[in-house]
Structures are given as structure tokens and as C-alpha cells.
Structure 1
Amino acid sequence: MTEQPLSPQFGVTQDGFVLKGFDAVLADARTRARQMWATLGLEPDLTSTSSLGKLIEATVHEDAELWKRLEDFYYASFVCTATGDSLDLLGDDGNLPRRELPASGEVTLTLGGGLPGRSYIVPDGTQLVTAAGPGRLSFVTLAPVELSSTTPSQRVAARSLTRGSRGDITAGEIVGVDPAYEQIYLSGFGVATLTVTNEQAFTGGLGMEDDDSYRGRQLGISRSLWTVEAGRQSVLNVDGVVDVLLSDPLGGVDVSQSFFDEFDFGERLFSGERQIGAAYTFDVVVAHDFRWPWRTTGAVEGVYERVLREVDRVRPAGVHPNIVAADHIDVGVRARIVVEPGYDPAALSAAIRTRLAEALGTLRLGGDVLYSQVVRAVVEVPGVLDVQRLHLRRHPPAFGRITFGEVVHQTPAVDAAIGRNLLMGTTELPVFRADADLHDLELVTP
């Protein structure tokens, strides 16, 4: 007796949902029709040109579409495959709604009373505000601007620090630089003045974040309030936070630690250094976008205050966060770049810096800057033929702010050897700024 092969399995299987295509549905329909007519002793004509065959095919088209809908319904139940409204429903289950986008537009910066022969730099991330009042909004510039008495006015892109349609302001609503920010960061202007206005309306606040970004946040969500993962998720949901590192070596907030709930409070301490009755703290190292102030400045609430408020929502009672800013390491490039003749050196240098900022802008805490990654980013710029004598440079900030792990003290400027990567510490975030003085690019033609 010949063993009959197993019929294909369709629908929900161990390997996921197997779609039953049009051919398989049509074959099953024809088989059932033959079996029905065979009970009457007849052999039907089921070819595509027959009347019965056409009726069966018309019905099968509807059944095949139904199978497609069943497949969509199945994959809509999982965060990794759901899209659109289905992804929104999964986010609602985890109390993580889809974010609105910040509005964006352009502003005009105008210098008044500038001294001849002097340049005035308006840094990237300058805080702008609308008129004072309960509904005052804050914006930040997205690029540095150089003004002088010969070029007193320039346009620059800006973005709202408030998500949603509130940031969709009309023309002329931005009145100037935040007074507190101006006093701290633009005091070097002296008698010169800086006026700001938006000649056109800001748009984009009605948009919503894309499925990929929303899915990434959902995949990392914690379903428990009392874990390090829950604390990390709450911090990452704060606007302006790039990455976060939580250290809880004693298990006060991380219930997954093997020694959690094993301490005898009547006989021993958590550790030898901790005094009885002292507050228990865990470290939260936050890497943030430099455009957001770390502490509240003027009308803009600081990252520190907003992170503290979010962590307080999920932390256990009696366990307090010690929130510190991560070490933001400025990364630069020193290299000899061979370019094709005919290209403008200044424009090509700016294009190289912009490309490097895009390539290195995705790094996170502890992410090493790879030599090969930098070389690839540079040679991808049109007009670049070769990269020679490439050194990666770093300019570390003041150390000693992080309370755990060893930090190697280095000189104010460090050049790695040719071919060597820049190794980052656990609490260090590499930052590449296109306008930094740390870069030294020598462009030559063959």
C-alpha cells in the first residue's frame, strides 16, 4: 500500500499563519464539486470555459480574499507585524499611545548693532519663544547660524518642543529668544541685539509617528511597574532623551535579581557601606539631545525634571532615583581626503560633515565609533575619491559625575591611531556636531 502524502496545512500553524492561496482554494472547490456530482453518477465539466467552472471561480475569488483578511487579522495581533490601527490598539493595551509629531518651520534671525569685522554665532539648539502668557510655546533652532554686520540676517530651520497641533503656529508668533537662555548663552553679544520672527506658519503638528518608530517603543515596553525595564521605558518616553542606563546592583527596583527578597532586615544591611535608615537610591544615567536643556531654562522644562517625574510614577516606595547626565563625548575627524577636481572645497567639506553627523547620530550609550564606519560614510559623499591619514578624535567632558564603573582620565583632546576605533565607556555617548572645531579635514585633488 502506497503511503499518501499529508495534505498541506493552512491557517494557524506552529510556524505562523499559512495563507491558502487562490489555486489551493480553487482545487478544493473543484474536488468537492466532483465528489457531489459523483454521488449522482455524473461527471461534471469543471473547465474554466464551462458555466459551472465560472461559477466556482467567482465564489473562490471571494474565499481567497477572505483568507487574506484572516491572515491580516492574525498578524494584527502581534506588535512585530501589526500596522496602522491594529498597532494603535496594541499600544492602547499597554497604555502607550502613538505620539504626535512636533511642528517645524523656518525662522529669520536678524542681528542689530553688530560691530564691524566681528562674527556672532547663534548656536544650534537656541531656544525661541512665543509671546508671554499661559499658552507660551518654546522652539529650538536646528543648525548654527553665523551673523555679522555684512550678513545681518539669515533663515534657519526650527522645531517645536511641544508635540501636537499646538506647535502649528501662524506667521509672526515667535517673538524672540528665551530671555533666560539669552542671558546665559548669548551674553557675549554685548550691545548687539538679536531679533527672531517666523515669516511663515509652522506645520506638521497634526502628523503622527510612523509605524516603525511606534513599534520599536512597544517592543521595549515593560508590563510591570517594579522592574528596571519599566524604569528604562518610562525614561525613554521623555522627549529629548536619547538613551538611558539604570544601575541597581542591590536589587531594590530590579525584582529579577537572584538575591531579591532574600535579605533579613532584622540582622543585616544591604551592604557594608549603607547605614540603617538611609534612603535607598539607584542610578539613572541619561543621555539627552543637546538641544534640550538639562535643567529648566526659562520657559523650557529641563530633561532632569521631566525624567524625575516619569521615574516617580514607576519606582517602588522608599526607593529613590539618582539621576545624572551621561558623559557626552564630542567626536571629531582629522583626515586627508582626496577629492575629484572641480568640486567646491567648502561645500564638499560641509557635505562630508553632514554625512558623518547622519552616520554617527544613531549611536547610543557605550556605542563605539568604528573606524570603518567613518571611512564608509566619507567615501559615500559624491566627489570623494579616497580617505587617507584618518584619525578619530574625542574631546571628553569633565569626569567624575558617574557614580559607578571606572573612568579613565584623558587629556583634553585625544587622537586615536590610524585604523583604531574610539572605544566608549558604559556611560559615554558619542556626539558628532558638524560645526565643531574638533574636525580637521584637508581636501586635496589627485
Structure 2
Amino acid sequence: MAIASFGLHKRGFLAPTYEEILDSVEDDLMQRFGTDIVLTSNSNFGIIARLIAWRETLLIQELQKTYYSAYISTATESSLDRIGANLDLPRKVATPSFANIQIVTDDEYLIQAGEQFETDDGVVFDLIKDVTTAKDSNGQYIGVGVVQSVETGDFNNVLPNTITIVSNPDEDIISVTNPQKAAGGQDDEDDSTYRARLIMENVAKPGPSTAGIKSALMNLPGVRQVNIIENPFADADQYGNPPYSVHVFCLGGKEDDIASCLADKVAAGISLTGSKEVQAKDATGEVKKINFDYATDKPIYARVKIRTTDEWNADDGADYVKQEIADYINSLLMDGTVYLTKIYPSIYSIEGVGEALVEIGTDPEHLADKDIHTQPFEAVSCDTRNIEVVVNGI
């Protein structure tokens, strides 16, 4: 039989299956060589028919990819990058993290740019500019400098007071630390995240509206999530926000970048609130006081007890389980809920899992089979190291 529909259609691009193409090729061969030819898979005609059908299938699949590459919802990889370029919204690339460090020395001392400091986990940072320590009001010699992570990626956004090691020990340096969390590090943006940002850009162009402010902030390097709480009433709201205020929460990103973005996008008369206070210039050069907050990180812990079947991968099965759970939790937005029941399908999709029992919580010592609710300013996260897998523990 002939292929009824192929190519562009009023409902989109229609692509026949391999079986449909093979039927069509076999029909053509019988029309030309007679209906008594042998078309089994091990016959000459059968082999030729399958070669032709397979090559046509590959060609049609490439045509289908070309068609779908023109749309944000279906484009992937470089095609999605080209759509983003048309919108002047490039994909975020992996960037290093930055942090302010405080160095204490015995006496006035010069620490030269390039000096390296690191965390206990081995995340290394380079000092960007020379730092000279000076005596403070307490008689200590202290200097403040900016460091940049040697590697790129989100894992470089280390917690406060974790950059405490001088990579090349110096007896003149008494101590070093980072009073605040490192920021700005990000991974290469994957297709799904980039696609969501492009769609947001179309729906809400950066501007003074709530959606527009969120869209503009999401385009900043290192910013992974944004949530905005508005209080349009004459009294403080349930979160303590003052009357007629807007409270912006960002997950990731650098203070100066966020403040500059808010200075440009927030409409006149809007009262921003938040514990972070940064002076930033708007597009006209006017200096504004900008307030906002970083989202509160809410680590999630999990314990999974599994009864396995013969198909279970003893070497990597537990790692697969951990990764599936971590991916689900890390995909959630602020003010979302960690639903326990949504964890089970991804676990049961792993080959070799017969039965599973999952417990989650914010304290590794107190886990339960209950959902976890979050506040609008909380961002849940889960490291695979926070997950315990007990094989055949049911």
C-alpha cells in the first residue's frame, strides 16, 4: 500500500513509520517485478527493500527534526541556541563562583593576587587582586579580598565560613574565611531550563511587572530561581513584610548584578524590602537603594529501603536511585511541595527494583513518609550524599 500522508500537513509534519515505508517499498517492488517475488527478510528482494526503507526512515526523521527545530517547544541543542540568538537571549554557560574573604595576619602584610585558598572539600579559589592587611579597632590585622573559583559550575557556590585553607601554607596568615556564601557559579544551562526561560521571555518581557522582573532576574548569570512576595495591604503580611512592599527572593546570582537589574526594572514608587541592601545605579545613572534577599536553602534528606529482583545492578543501582531522587527534588521551585508519591515512579522505573519504601525530611535523624511543605522564600535542594539506600532492607 502507498503512504497516505507524508511531510507538511495542516496538523504539522507527518512522518510515516519504518513499517509503513517498508510496506510501500514492497508494493513498489511487486508492481515492477510481479507479485510472486519473495520478500522475506533473508531474500534478495527482502534485503533490498529493508535497506531502502531504513535509509528513507532515517532521512524522514532528519526532515522531521529540521521541522521541529524551528519552534521553542521542540528545538534542541544548537537549534535552540539559534532561536535564543534571534531573541537576543543566549544560553547560560558555566561560570566560576566569587566570594569575599577575610584574611587575618600577624602584622601588616601583602597577599598577592593569584594566592589560592580552598575548602575542606577541595574547591579552590584564586585571589583576584592584591590585599594588604591593616590594623582594625580591635588591634587585629585584617584584609578583605575577592576570590574566584578555579573551576566553573554550581558546586563552587560554597557555604559561608568554608573557604578556610591557604593552599600554599603561609606562616604570616593566621586565618582566612568567607563570611558570606560564594555566588555566581553555574553549570551549562540544559535544554529544558533554557527552553523554559525562552518561553518566559516571550510571555513576560523584562519590565516593571512582577512577571517582567522575574524574567529579567532569571536571565542573570547564576540565578536559578526567583520568587516575589507582594504585600498590597496597609498592614504587615504573615511573613513580616511591611505595608505596600515587594520582597524579591533569588536563588543564586551576585548581589551587584541583582541590585542593578532591580534598579532598572522596578517601577517608580515601588518599595522593595529585604535584609540585603545594595546601592545600585539605574539606566540614567541615578543611585538607588535596593533591598532583596537570597532564598533560604532547605536541604532534603532521604532514606530508601529496596527489595531487589534478579535484574538489580549491584554496582550502580543504588547510585541510580540516589540520582533520580536528587533530580526530582532539585527541579522543584520555591514555595513548592516535595510530594513523597512523586518520588516512587522514578524509583520503580529503575531495573531491578521490586519494592521500595521512601522516607524524607529536613533532618537526617527524623525522616518520615510525609510530604514536605516549603515557604515562598525557601528553595529545597538535595545532594546525592544526603540519600541513604538500603538494599533488601524491607
TM-score using structure 2 length:
0.50
Q: 1:359 aligns with which of 328, 334, 339?
A: 328
Deviation of 1:346 (Å): 9.3
Deviation of 1:72 (Å): 10
Q: 2:260 aligns with which of 302, 306, 309?
A: 309
Report the residue type matching 1:217 in the other structure.
Answer: R
Deviation of 1:125 (Å): 8.8
Report the residue type matching 1:184 in the other structure.
Answer: N
Deviation of 1:233 (Å): 0.7
Deviation of 1:379 (Å): 4.2
Q: Is the 8 A contact 1:308 1:321 kept in 2?
A: no
1:159 corresponds to: 152
Percent identity among equivalent residues? 17
1:138 and 2:148 matched: yes
2:250 corresponds to: 286
Report the residue type matching 2:197 in the other structure.
Answer: R
1:427 corresponds to: 377
- Report 1:316-331 matches (<5 A): 316-322=267-273, 323-331=292-300
Segments of 5+ residues of structure 1 without an aligned counterpart are 1-7, 20-47, 49-70, 104-120, 141-157, 162-176, 197-206, 251-270, 289-301, 396-411
1:391 corresponds to: 359
Give, in whole Å, the separation in 1 of the partners of 2:391 and 2:65: 54
CA 1:214–1:369: 2 relative to 1, 3 Å: closer
Deviation of 1:183 (Å): 9.4
Deviation of 1:231 (Å): 0.4
Please give the secondary structure, in 2, of the residue aligned with 1:235: helix
Q: Is the 8 A contact 1:242 1:364 kept in 2?
A: no
1:234 and 2:216 matched: yes
Deviation of 1:432 (Å): 1.0
Q: Is the 8 A contact 2:94 2:189 kept in 1?
A: yes
1:372 and 2:341 matched: yes
CA 1:73–1:138: 2 relative to 1, 3 Å: same
Q: Is the 8 A contact 2:231 2:245 kept in 1?
A: no
Report the residue type matching 1:284 in the other structure.
Answer: V
Give, in whole Å, the separation in 1 of the partners of 2:160 and 2:91: 37
1:218 and 2:198 matched: yes
CA 1:360–1:194: 2 relative to 1, 3 Å: same
1:265 corresponds to: none
Report the residue type matching 1:248 in the other structure.
Answer: E
Report the residue type matching 2:260 in the other structure.
Answer: R
Deviation of 1:433 (Å): 1.6
Count the aligned residue pairs.
272
1:443 and 2:394 matched: no
Please give the secondary structure, in 2, of the residue aligned with 1:220: helix
Give, in whole Å, the separation in 2 of the partners of 1:219 and 1:329: 28
Give, in whole Å, the separation in 1 of the partners of 2:311 and 2:14: 57
RMSD: 5.4
Deviation of 1:92 (Å): 5.1
Deviation of 1:341 (Å): 8.9
Give, in whole Å, the separation in 2 of the partners of 1:383 and 1:442: 14
2:162 corresponds to: 185
Cα shift readout 1:68-111 (whole Å, capped 9, x = no counterpart): xxx999988754456788766754564423444559xxxxxxxx
The higher-RCO structure (CA 8 Å, 6+ apart) is 1
Cα shift readout 1:21-44 (whole Å, capped 9, x = no counterpart): xxxxxxxxxxxxxxxxxxxxxxxx
Deviation of 1:378 (Å): 3.8
